[in-house]
Structure 1
Amino acid sequence: AYHMVDLMPKFVLIAFRDALWTGDLSFLRRLWGNMKDAVECVLRDDITGLKLPYHTTSSGFELFEALNEILGRAPEMLKGMGSVLLQGYTFIPLGFQSFDAWSFLGISAYAGLAWITALSSMEKAAFIMGENEYGSEIGEIMKESSENLVKLLWNGEYFNLWNDPVSGMNDNACMAAQLASLLYSYSSKLNPQIGSEKIRKTLKNIFEKCFKKGEGLINGAYPDGKRPALSGDLKYENGTGLPYRVGCQMDTPWTGVEFAVAAQMIHEEMLSEAMTILKELYDRYSRYGLFWNHIECGGHYYRSMASWEVLLALEGLVYDGFNSTLEFKPKVNRNNFKGVFTIAGSWGELTQTFESNRQRVEIKLVKNPLKVKKMVLWKIGNSIGFVEAYLNGSKIDCEKACRESEVEIVFKEEVLLVEGSDLTVNISYGS
């Protein structure tokens, strides 16, 4: 999908996340050159000098509709040639993204934020690879990219859909998935330099503008609330004259986006909004007997597997395989939480209880080995009295490091959990 400008950053995000969770340095080394190429590809096509991905027009399937109309009047031989030539990267630059029937122009929040988060991944990966100078260069590019994106798109409430500094055109729609790639900032412990205040304010506006009771979270909405679903076919409010049609991607809910937005809201402690979206989604598909067949572009669509992000968010689960660090900070039921976990082929059960000033965290491994050197947990009480750790009932040595809202447990020796292993940490707090 060379024509989708968001896929290079997404490749970087996926590659680094998988390397981090598996702790597989050889995997990262094998892909490192490709990850660098992906970054270089975006920078090479930076026609504005803003260090941001750029969408050329037309960037949606409207282009193919226009081409088909032109080629429909051509002889058969020319149709075949035109279909190849006019879609070729070197003939017409294209600026599609995953919402491929929704045309963007210039700099977009969706692709721009994916790019900035990918740069944060590259910066972290570079230091792991020992390429500190390259990591510092990437950090500087990320800083410049972030500043330019905020200047172009931040309107004080959310990031505008897109802004084209070349033509001067602008689209101020609120896109539900504008922050989607920032989910990797939680699972990969990144710092894309957007700021938590902007993230929370954006999520609040996404809920207010895009959530429609009885429908779900639609992909985008304009501040004035006009929708083709209510008014019939319209024009996008951006000066392009492109049709804003009934049933278009912008005016439709996508399950995968709903799960992703809800997961991010859970990460940001916006539990009420997240649960409202998830309940509407659950009811919508259950009502029609389609709970196991979520339909987006087609039946059983892959994006709906973003539902797993909801579990990770609820558990506050992150694993750093390079340092064997397990972070478990549940966002709900902190005094009595129980959940399943999967980490790099290992899976088991996580529980946390808090009673009589004592916090108990337990990992029961069911399948495949897991290494744990550190654990990062909620600091539920005030002053910590003592910390004890047990492996299969036998006490093991550990040390603690307290921060404002969390406590880090460091085991003297790395713990190797195998099938049937039980690792327990008890934290006692002063009354």
Structure 2
Amino acid sequence: MAGSREEPAQEQDGDTVAGKLENVSRFPRHGWMVSLDHTFPEKRDQKIRPRIGQLPQLIPLFMRYLVWYMYTRARGRKPWIDCITMMHGKQMYGVPLGGIGSGTIGRGFRGEFCRYQMVPGIYEYQTVTANQFIVTIRDPKGKTLYQKVLSVQSQPKKGLESWEWGFNAADGLYCGLYPRSWTVYNIKEQGIRLICRQISPVIPHNYKDSCLPVGAFIWNIENYNPEPRDVSIAFSFKNGTGGSEDKEGECWSEVFEQELEETRVKGVVLHQTLRTLNLRYCLAVKERPEVSVTRSPGFDPLGSGESLWNDLKIDGELDTSDIPVTKTRKGEERAVAVCGKCSISASSSGMIEMALVWDMPQIVFKSKGVTHTRRYTRWFGEELTAAQEMAAYALHHYSRWEDDIEAWQNPVLQDGSLPDWFKSAIFNELYFIADGGSVWLELPEQVTSTLPLHDSRCEYGRFAYLESHEYRMYNTYDVHFYASWALVMLWPELQKSLQYDMAQWTTSADLTPRTHLFRGNKGVRKLANAVPHDAGDPEDEPFVRVNAYQIHDISFWKDLNLKFVLQVYRDHTFFKDRNYLAHMWPVCRAVMDRSFTYDRDGDGLIENEGQADQTYDSWIMHGPSAYCSSLWVAALASMVEMAVELKDTAEQKKFSEALTKAKTALHEKLWNGKYYKFDTCGAPHSDSIMSDQLVGHWYLTLSGSNSEVFQHNCVHSVLKMLYEYNVQRFNNGEMGAVNGMNPNGTIDRYTMQSEEMWVGVTYGLAATMIIEGMVEEGFKTAEGVYRTVYEKIGLGFETPEALYGQHKYRAIGYMRPLSIWSMYWAYTLHQRKKNIASVSDDAVQNDTPFPEEPVKRTRPVADDSDSSDVSQ
């Protein structure tokens, strides 16, 4: 059953041994757990149809979008948002492979290699049949007892028909707890249990290993037989990503041996070109006295696979005598394989350690565009040997990675006050940091030499991730505002780097004319002192041409400038970095001065202008609105506190006066006695109860602000209303908080976005409830999201932006759900206030729940047997 712990079946004479052997696998007690034959109870799709009443404002947009779409396609470009051929979730994904910013390979929970993000920002959704693990079991006399592909898929229609497919899915169990996963294969008829541990080096505060394009597969092999067994695990992999480009030819392979201190590995490197970029796949096995390694440097993945299969069947090894050195011709493909074989005594265990590396050191976003270099090349930069070196590095250090991961995760996993579903959700939603199209790039010396020394980009480079797998814009800032809690808590230097980029682009202008699709109005790409919506499209030239988003004129969005200010304030409360604050202060002043011009009537609140001018880009607001006014007063309060910190008395006075005026207007114009109204235009939907109306309070409170910007009694009244209406009256309280709810208890269907539930917004609301003492309600609100996404509709590891009450979802693989990390920060602060009254306010603000440096190993690398305490 999804989410529950299922013990693998025990074999004869194996009860005592099983308890011992399970410790070796470091199998967790928490995570997302399903059997390999699991099916999800609900099927949804993305065929969204607007309601009749929503059509008038959308039809003109659609017509203009259609013209733009066809023009973009005619130029050979992918549109940054494709509303014509939207993606659909496949109910198959598990923990992806790879570190941050160097490309990722998605894996299904049944073991498929099925989603490739090699070309920056572009996803390819092919399940590659030739990428497999094969087990061979032999008795002491050398007789092959069992050989099978460790895949539940049936015999492929084309290719590899000599292989034996169809592992019994009922005999397998999967557990995902990012950045690791475990797959258990119970081969009952042979008295063998295999446990494959997949590890990616995604480690908080580690800025070297976390960027590596590697994954380790550690196979624990448990023998429950009264006599020894020889067990081989072979790993095969083909060129490309499963698409038509794989047959372009020019692939070649070579075997290698590599040593790193006492670690010796053997493997195969597969060289190829992918969209003009050099890519090398590398497969490696760690050689030990009890593990022999053989390799196949080339076989035809389109053929029957008979030669490789029979090689394994004869003696559990691969034949390396025929080494191909020629390049493939057009129409051909090439696959390679490695194999580890070990002899396992009766009622004992063995281990085979493997690594997969994909090395694409340079990337180009646009044909003949700027060449960028990935960060990992700082340590692994030699083109011909980098992949081999990273493979050896991974197999030498993976145990340390696991120690660090466990030291990071255990405070959460061992906290009895936290619900089990949350322990799965908080780590598994973190997949998006790596698998969200992220790039982590070195800046060239001619750029860093112009930056001040305190600028994080000098040492940590440039980091960017997509808004979603479908909405291909880097660092979409109105959304990153929610997601940034993950970065600021786990990789703060990446948050700083992103902010330095945004500050630089904010003050600049791009006066290139363009037509905005929503209204057809003319404008320019970007005005000065307007925070960018995004850092650009990977199909264009990001970081050079920002603001790929073209639906609205984002230079006049009301929330972007305020979100920049609030992030600077929040970041400073975490970092206490005065250089950072001083650098950002002039930019904050400039964007706030621009925002003051949005107060058209001088009442102290900025006005929305009857168009979608904020993150809810089809939910139109008029005049002062709950959402933007909440951000406005919070930003003013942040400016006051930052001015005090910097001893800027003139600005402190200016913003203090503005804050006093804004707080009064907020209460007079939007407070109705129970909650803040959606807006002030007087239309029926103006009384909508918006789930995101306390967004400013959320940020201020979690940043440690002591000023009561939002009246305490008002905040609690709003939270109770939201829980009763937006949560409890939406899908029986089992799917988070709907964005808009009418006072009569019906869903606000004024626009498509008002009737959606946004996952990231719900997590932010849950965090607000928790910090305000509504802990049970907060976790209950968020639990409905997790249960729906991971257990009911099967969209884990591609969590969408939005869910409808029934049948539909929107925008798979989305950034905003990373806001779940604000829930843990809220919980941490609440527990400290509750249990440690002696802790000063400053200590509460300064402490982060995780150490600033990678945790030191707690036991020797080789001592896997002493891991029983890890999951207790």
State the TM-score bracket (shorter-chain normalisation): 0.5 to 0.7
1:195 aligns with 2:702: no
1:367 aligns with 2:853: yes
1:54 aligns with 2:571: no
- Contact in 2 for aligned 1:262/1:277 (Cα 8 Å): yes
- Contact in 1 for aligned 2:573/2:846 (Cα 8 Å): no
Quick one: distance in 2 between partners of 1:127 and 1:19? 13
**1:193 Cα offset (Å):** 2.2
Quick one: distance in 1 between partners of 2:743 and 2:573? 39
Instruction: Please tell me the residue identity of whatever aligns with 1:256.
Output: G
Q: Which residue of 1 aligns with 2:827?
A: 314
Cα offsets for 1:135-167 (capped at 9, x unmatched): 122111101001001100101000000014xx8
Q: Whose RCO is larger (CA < 8 A, sep 6+)?
A: 2
Quick one: distance in 1 between partners of 2:670 and 2:774? 24
- Contact in 2 for aligned 1:210/1:220 (Cα 8 Å): yes
Quick one: distance in 1 between partners of 2:708 and 2:658? 11
**1:168 Cα offset (Å):** 8.9
Q: Taking structure 1 as reference, are residues 125 and 272 closer, same or farther at Cα in structure 2, changes over 3 Å only?
A: same
Q: Which residue of 2 aligns with 1:329?
A: 832
- Contact in 2 for aligned 1:116/1:192 (Cα 8 Å): no
Quick one: distance in 1 between partners of 2:562 and 2:724? 29
Q: Taking structure 1 as reference, are residues 347 and 198 closer, same or farther at Cα in structure 2, changes over 3 Å only?
A: closer
**1:19 Cα offset (Å):** 2.2
1:204 aligns with 2:720: yes
Q: Which residue of 1 aligns with 2:567?
A: 14
In structure 1, the residue corresponding to 2:811 is in which secondary structure?
coil
Instruction: Please tell me the residue identity of whatever aligns with 2:606.
Output: P
Q: Taking structure 1 as reference, are residues 168 and 127 closer, same or farther at Cα in structure 2, changes over 3 Å only?
A: same
Cα offsets for 1:186-243 (capped at 9, x unmatched): 2322225221110010010011111122433100111123337xxxxx6xxxxxxxxx
The unaligned stretches of length 5 or more in structure 1 are 61-95, 229-233, 235-243, 318-327, 336-342, 349-364, 369-417, 422-431
Q: Which residue of 2 aligns with 1:118?
A: 635
1:262 aligns with 2:766: yes
Cα offsets for 1:230-261 (capped at 9, x unmatched): xxxx6xxxxxxxxx25xx11111110011000
- Contact in 2 for aligned 1:163/1:170 (Cα 8 Å): no
Q: Taking structure 1 as reference, are residues 155 and 24 closer, same or farther at Cα in structure 2, changes over 3 Å only?
A: same
Instruction: Please tell me the residue identity of whatever aligns with 1:278.
Output: A
- Contact in 1 for aligned 2:798/2:812 (Cα 8 Å): yes
In structure 2, the residue corresponding to 1:139 is in which secondary structure?
helix
TM-score by length of 1: 0.61
Instruction: Please tell me the residue identity of whatever aligns with 1:101.
Output: S
Q: Which residue of 1 aligns with 2:777?
A: 273
Q: Which residue of 2 aligns with 1:72?
A: none
**1:102 Cα offset (Å):** 0.4
Quick one: distance in 2 between partners of 1:7 and 1:46? 16
Cα offsets for 1:392-425 (capped at 9, x unmatched): xxxxxxxxxxxxxxxxxxxxxxxxxx9699xxxx
Instruction: Please tell me the residue identity of whatever aligns with 1:53.
Output: I
- Contact in 1 for aligned 2:625/2:680 (Cα 8 Å): yes
1:100 aligns with 2:100: no
The unaligned stretches of length 5 or more in structure 2 are 1-553, 802-809, 838-844, 859-872
User: What is the RMSD of the two structures over their aligned residues, measured on CA atoms?
Assistant: 2.9
- Contact in 1 for aligned 2:606/2:629 (Cα 8 Å): yes
- Contact in 2 for aligned 1:294/1:300 (Cα 8 Å): yes
Matches within 5 A, 1:177-326: 177-190=692-705, 191-211=707-727, 212=730, 213=732, 214-227=734-747, 244-245=750-751, 248-286=752-790, 287-296=792-801, 298-316=811-829
- Contact in 2 for aligned 1:347/1:367 (Cα 8 Å): no
In structure 2, the residue corresponding to 1:2 is in which secondary structure?
helix
Q: Taking structure 1 as reference, are residues 420 and 128 closer, same or farther at Cα in structure 2, changes over 3 Å only?
A: farther
Quick one: distance in 2 between partners of 1:316 and 1:267? 7
Percentage identity across paired residues of the two chains: 25
1:42 aligns with 2:595: yes
* Aligned residue pairs, count: 285
Q: Which has the larger radius of gyration?
A: 2
- Contact in 2 for aligned 1:266/1:313 (Cα 8 Å): yes
Quick one: distance in 1 between partners of 2:853 and 2:660? 42
In structure 1, the residue corresponding to 2:596 is in which secondary structure?
helix
**1:2 Cα offset (Å):** 1.6
Instruction: Please tell me the residue identity of whatever aligns with 1:219.
Output: N
Matches within 5 A, 1:51-200: 51-57=604-610, 59-60=611-612, 96-164=613-681, 171-190=686-705, 191-200=707-716
Quick one: distance in 1 between partners of 2:665 and 2:740? 23
- Contact in 1 for aligned 2:763/2:823 (Cα 8 Å): yes
Instruction: Please tell me the residue identity of whatever aligns with 2:743.
Output: P
Quick one: distance in 1 between partners of 2:655 and 2:736? 38
Quick one: distance in 1 between partners of 2:650 and 2:836? 42
- Contact in 1 for aligned 2:770/2:827 (Cα 8 Å): yes
Instruction: Please tell me the residue identity of whatever aligns with 1:200.
Output: H
Q: Taking structure 1 as reference, are residues 168 and 299 closer, same or farther at Cα in structure 2, changes over 3 Å only?
A: closer
Q: Which residue of 2 aligns with 1:92?
A: none
